[in-house]
Structure 1
Amino acid sequence: MEVSFVLQNYLDVECKIIRVERGSDMIERVRELISHFNKEGSPIMIGGGVLAHTILGVDFNESTGDSMLLVLDPHYTGVDDIRTIQNNGWVGWKPWSFWSQDAFYNLCCPLRPKIVSS
């Protein structure tokens, strides 16, 4: 995954890669994504098929198991107007069905540096 190569080789940021064989299997990774956001707090870059997006967060209902992902489309090139960006779907809460069910996906999860005290 190109983004992890750039992060690791140019910025010295280690990444964990999560491979999902089919978009329909993405929901099985919900707790792993929640754990990443709780522990690392960094956005997750996702690529697969012809898509590339950034996952910024997870909304998970413990009682029902329902969940959605806060997704940013990094391809937006317009003016910095939040109303336009949200209304046109460039950022927003997406259901798991947003992902192509038959495509594979690689999720690049940047890890925060581990600080060692001396």
Structure 2
Amino acid sequence: MKAQWSPNGRQVPCRVVHVARGAKLPDFIDQIYSHFRDVGAPVMMGGDTDASSKGIVGACRDPPSLLVVDPHCYGAGITRHQLQEKCWVKWVSLENFCQESFYNLCMPVKLDKS
């Protein structure tokens, strides 16, 4: 599915990847990992039972986990230590995601410059 994300009023073309159940997230780790290697843009993630929105800014294959940023974090001058201490940014093992919730991943795509 194609979609657009509009940060600051700019339209960013995206691909939406549907994961039917959190238990299936490990099947998508290579695709997510490749996205960061090839595109490098954050991934927006949301689900149904797990209703907290997430920004994904990194992926690890071993152990399979995602670097999650809480998009509700705000404020100037926050240190890396404070972000980690308050769990605004943390590595989350795929097994710690809600296994019964579906998830949609909004993955910005790289534009051809031709």
Using the size of structure 1 for normalisation, the TM-score is 0.81
Aligned CA RMSD, in angstroms, stands at 1.9
Q: Which residue of 1 aligns with 2:79?
A: 81
Aligned residue in 1 for 2:40: 41
Number of equivalent positions: 108
Q: 1:86 to 1:14 in 2, by over 3 A?
A: same
Helix, strand or coil for the counterpart of 2:18? strand
Matches within 5 A, 1:1-118: 4-7=3-6, 10-49=9-48, 50-61=51-62, 66-78=63-75, 80-116=78-114
Q: Structure 1 or 2: larger strand share?
A: 2
Q: How many Å separate the matches in 2 of 1:6 and 1:68?
A: 24
Q: Partners of 1:98 and 1:90 in 2: how far apart? A: 16
Tell me the amino acid that sits aligned with residue 54 of structure 1.
Answer: G
Give the % identical residues.
31
What stretches of structure 1 of length at least 5 have no aligned partner? none
Asked whether the equivalents of residues 24 and 97 of structure 1 are also in contact (C-alpha less than 8 Å), the reply is yes
After TM superposition, the score normalised by the length of structure 2 is: 0.83
Cα deviation for residue 78 of structure 1 reads 4.9
Query: Which structure 1 residue ranges, 4+ long, deviate > 4 Å from structure 2?
Result: none
Please say if residues 5 and 14 of structure 2, whose CA atoms lie closer than 8 Å, have aligned partners that are also in contact: no
SS of 1:54 mapped into structure 2? strand
Q: Which has the higher helix share?
A: 1
